[in-house]
């Protein structure tokens, strides 16, 4: 009977019956980590996120714009703000989740499949230690994790960038130290493997901290390679799909009512991820 139903399911699929309603789909070839049918990437940071110095795009856009052009079906939210620090972002994120302004930031963090943090270089001006900045970056992550889990029931995916190194005398070694701390804190649940520190200094503009437009092309190529290779690898680890039906374990029982260990919960021959009505 099951074999017959399987054949019927294959025939139904071939005839183009309504299906694929519930699988966590690929969007522009990239995994939809929160399984809502959209791919949203929220990038939080300072002027290098905003794209200051990107002269061919009127001084804004930067690597986030270039990634949006490369993955047209995905939504890239640019929360870059010139001069901001890790401390400022803690406050922005906390206020956003508390409903005190920053509503678009809150909305973006809640729907994001991936949150990118690229901030810390301005913290040096506050005469604080790189270790204090690392702690503040962790606090941003904890705040996002706690609130997103409370509001959606699932864990956010957050990557913290290792920063592009400026050519400024005091700032460069300070950022070098922060980058060392970031690199050694890399883990599966809190990756720091977006490596903007690999961009050569010759791509900096005359102000010695912002990239030129060619520099932003380089940042974009690092970011696009990240999205294409490491982001899917993280999703694979952090969103296991034991029965390989296209629905991640953590969404099966809770959101779809399906069994995360059974490919075809209602035994109708159509796998849960392709079944328009996976329970009947
Ligand atoms: Ca999504
Ligand atoms: Ca599954
Ligand atoms: Ca089924």
Distance 258 CA to ligand 2 centre (A): 8
Q: 82: CA distance to ligand 3 center in Å?
A: 50
Q: Which domains does the chain have, with CATH numbers?
A: 26-238 (3.40.50.1110), 241-271 (no CATH)
- What pLDDT, on the 0 to 100 scale, is given for residue 174? 96
22: pLDDT confidence band, cut at 50, 70 and 90?
low
The H helix count followed by the E strand count for the chain is 10, 7
Q: Rounded to the nearest whole angstrom, what is the distance from the C-alpha of residue 171 to the centroid of ligand 1?
A: 37
Pairing of strands 40-45, 75-80: parallel
Taking only the tens place, the pLDDT of each residue in 232-246 is: 999 999 999 999 888
pLDDT in tens, 106-141: 999 999 999 999 999 999 888 789 999 999 999 999
Q: How far is the CA of 259 from the centre of ligand 2 (A)?
A: 8
Q: What is the percentage of the chain residues whose pLDDT exceeds 90?
A: 75
Ligand number nearest to the C-alpha of 156: 1
Task: Give the ligand whose atoms come closest to the C-alpha of residue 75.
Answer: 1
Secondary-structure percent of the chain, ordered helix, strand, coil, rounded to 5: 50, 10, 40
CA distance 67 to 74: 9
Apex CA 217: angle with CA 214 and CA 223, to 5°? 150
Tokens of 258: 């399906």
How much of the chain, in percent, has pLDDT values that exceed 70?
A: 92
C-alpha of residue 162 to centroid of ligand 2, in Å = 33
Cα(267)–Cα(172) distance, integer angstroms: 60
Indicate whether 9 pLDDT > 50.
no
What is the distance between the terminal CA atoms of the chain, rounded to a whole angstrom?
A: 16
Distance 192 CA to ligand 2 centre (A): 27
This prediction's pTM: 0.88
- Mean pLDDT of all residues in 34-49: 95
Tell me the C-alpha distance between 64 and 49, whole Å.
Answer: 7
């Amino acid at each position: 009977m099951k074999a017959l139903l399987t054949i019927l399911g294959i025939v139904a699929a071939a005839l183009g019956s309504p299906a694929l309603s519930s699988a966590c789909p690929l969007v522009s070839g990239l995994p939809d980590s929160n399984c809502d049918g959209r791919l949203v990437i929220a990038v939080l940071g300072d002027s290098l996120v905003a794209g200051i110095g990107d002269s061919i795009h009127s001084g804004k856009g930067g690597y986030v714009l270039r990634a949006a052009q490369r993955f047209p079906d995905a939504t890239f939210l640019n929360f870059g703000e010139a001069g901001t620090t890790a401390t400022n972002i803690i406050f922005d994120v906390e206020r956003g989740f508390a409903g005190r302004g920053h509503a678009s930031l809150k909305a973006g963090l809640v729907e994001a499949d991936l949150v990118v943090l690229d901030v810390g270089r301005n913290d040096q001006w506050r005469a604080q230690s790189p270790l204090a900045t690392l702690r503040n970056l962790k606090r941003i992550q904890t705040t996002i994790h706690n609130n997103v889990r409370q509001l959606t029931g699932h864990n956010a995916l957050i990557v913290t960038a290792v920063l592009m190194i400026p050519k400024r005398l005091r700032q460069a070694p300070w950022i070098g130290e922060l980058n060392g701390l970031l690199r050694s804190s890399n883990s599966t649940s809190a990756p720091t493997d977006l490596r903007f520190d690999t961009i050569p200094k010759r791509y900096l503009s005359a102000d010695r901290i912002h990239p030129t437009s060619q520099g932003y092309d380089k940042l974009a190529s690092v970011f696009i390679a990240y999205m294409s290779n490491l982001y899917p690898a993280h999703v694979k680890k952090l969103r296991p799909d034991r029965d390989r039906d296209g629905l991640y374990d953590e969404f099966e029982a809770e959101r779809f009512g399906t069994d995360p260990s059974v490919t075809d919960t209602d035994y109708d021959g159509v796998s849960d991820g392709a079944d328009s009505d996976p329970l009947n």
